Amino acid sequence: VDEREAVAKVETDGNIWTWYWDSDVRSSAVVLMAMLAVDPEHPLVSKLTRGLLESRRGGRWANTQENAFSLVALAEYAAVYEADEPDFQGRVWLANEPVVSVDVQGRDFAFQDGFAPMPALLKAINGAPDKTGGGDRLILERAGTGRMYYRVGLEWASTATDLPAKAEGVAISRRLRSEQGVVAGGEAVNSGQLLAIDIELETRANLDYMAIEVPLPAGLEAIDVELGKGSAAMTISGYRGGWVSHQELRRDRAVIFADRLPEGTHTTTVFVRATTPGDYVMPAASAELMYYPEIYGRTTGGRLVVH
């Protein structure tokens, strides 16, 4: 069983008994049913359930066997965990200050969102975190009947431009390159010069629906080599990775999407041109799973000088 932070899946080494309709998804469903029968409170139960849901493509699994076994396993999960009709109030406190409250009544596919602005969070902790490790607990409460599913996230932005690289499930690196070689941090390039930004991702597991954002300094503009004579005008090497499902070149950034990112190392190139002279901040590039943003990575920031 391949177990990650919130997901678990059965993954074989390719030796699948296909003549018995075997597959990793079918095996995951069988393991989930066994866990529900033997130890329904085991932490793997919720992870295997999420893994089954993740394995769908276009709302279904790959074949009739996977559909049948997955649906039976999910029905057994619901019989154990969804026996009570939801009728509860969910509340969240930070450092004994209430920040979110939602009401859930009946079965509904809609999400109930609660939002607390940063000033309210800072007020709850008197403007600064408790570094003793005892006072800033996040408390979630369910008052009523039914099962409460939740996700807690924090959105913030740092004012620092020299953040270190970070890898939480995926590592991303970036290098700026000219025809002469890698452009070192702070090294100057000339206005009108063609450049390439090489993006490298490294993962230790198969990941789905990855979004990569490559901010561009104000002195660079992206080149779409698929328009007009863009590719013929390129005199610098590089290529779009075969793993890239979709790419958008915007005024201030390149955004890259991968529906499926297999375990291993993957590269792609974004072509740019230096335009306006100046000394610019080069913000960090980042990658994250669209539906599980806690799995993410970022590069270091830097500076770029255009003459």
- What is the pTM assigned to this prediction? 0.61
**Cβ 146 vs Cβ 104: under 8 Å:** yes
Cα distance between the two ends of the chain: 54
> CA 97 → CA 67, 130, 138, distances in Å?
45, 14, 10
Q: Pseudo-torsion of CA 103, 106, 112, 114, nearest 10°? A: 10
Question: pLDDT tens for residues 140-165?
Answer: 899 998 888 887 777 777 777 778 89
The per-residue pLDDT for 13 is 66
Question: pLDDT tens for residues 3-54?
Answer: 777 788 887 765 555 556 678 889 899 999 999 999 998 989 989 998 898 8
Sheet containing 166-168: give its strands across: 166-168, 296-298, 286-289, 207-215, 253-261, 246-249
Q: Give the residue from 44, 150, 40, 135 showing the smallest Cα distance to 90.
A: 150
Q: Which domains, from first to last, does the chain contain? A: 2-81 (no CATH), 87-145 (no CATH), 166-306 (2.60.40.690)
**Cβ 31 vs Cβ 49: under 8 Å:** no
Question: pLDDT tens for residues 86-135?
Answer: 889 988 887 777 878 888 888 877 777 777 777 777 776 666 655 555 55
Q: Give the residue from 240, 192, 251 showing the smallest Cα distance to 216.
A: 251
The per-residue pLDDT for 136 is 64
